[in-house]
Amino acid sequence: MKLALNPRITRWRGLRVWLVGASSGIGAALADALIAQGARLAVSARSDAALNAIVERADADAIALPVDVGDADALANAHRELLARWGSIDLTIWLAAAYEPMDTANFQLATARRIARVNFEGLLNGLAVLLPMLRRERSGGLAIVSSVAGYRGLPRSPVYGPTKAALINLAESLYLELRPLGIGVYLINPGFVRTPLTALNDFQMPAIIEPEAAARHILRGLERGRFEIHFPARLSWTLKAIGLLPHRLYFSLVRRATAGNSRSGAQGPDEQDRP
């Protein structure tokens, strides 16, 4: 087995896990998978009804903490409430994301700001409450869900892709500082996953998988202590390889590959509803 870059999670039963962005898609599937493994679960998103449905499927340890990640104060209050109940958090998995199809012909500033607010600024709000705890305890972990859409620029992706690229860079930066302290930092880059948000795309999505399969990939990667957990392999490795090309070849190949796409073009995959 390859040398693990992160602590391997060898036992889920009793592990205190906070899922942020758990209302549907990968988040909901991951919640169900963790419930089946016996984890103690806290789920956050904006939708009370969706969170309560998850808790009803769980045992008494499951907690619903409705919150908008764009509201720093509300997020801090949710974190305090969780610490009051649990004492600490063993693993936070950050899935919160927003997406709408957009290109340069229909660029909408309000929509762009909302996507950036949820996808990037929301995580900054989370770090403001999580980092002091992690550094103080010198244990635990943070898993950040980005996307293969963040590997390199794609046509018709002037906002979503760049926010995901920012998360990739941020996860790498956090790893360099936190891992020497005994803290795990995991980066999760899904390809196309069938969710309410990818349903907005009007083009064929290669190698699309179901949320339950995505959840299995994530748990397996965490158990193996990987830094980057990317899937499905045939799509993510292809994009990694293309991303190594010099600009002239990269631009030419991507233009040809996406020339037949209609309105949404090569907009990157999404993995989770906005919380």
Counting the structural domains of the chain, the total is 1
DSSP class of residue 66 equals -
User: Residue 267 above 50 pLDDT?
Assistant: no
CA distance 196 to 128: 29
Note whether residue 193 is domain-resident.
Answer: yes
pLDDT at residue 178 tops 80 = yes
- pLDDT for res 266: 37
Question: For residue 103, with 0-12 CB atoms within 10 Å meaning exposed, 13-18 middle and 19 or more buried, which class applies?
Answer: middle
Residue 273 resides in a domain: no
CATH of the domain at 215: 3.40.50.720
Q: What is the pLDDT of residues 26-84, one digit of tens each?
A: 999 999 999 999 999 999 999 899 999 999 988 668 999 999 999 999 999 999 999 99
Print the domain residue range for 172.
Answer: 16-258
Is 1 inside a domain boundary?
A: no
Q: Structure pTM?
A: 0.92
Residue 8 lies in a domain: no
Q: pLDDT: is 206 or 65 the higher one?
A: 65
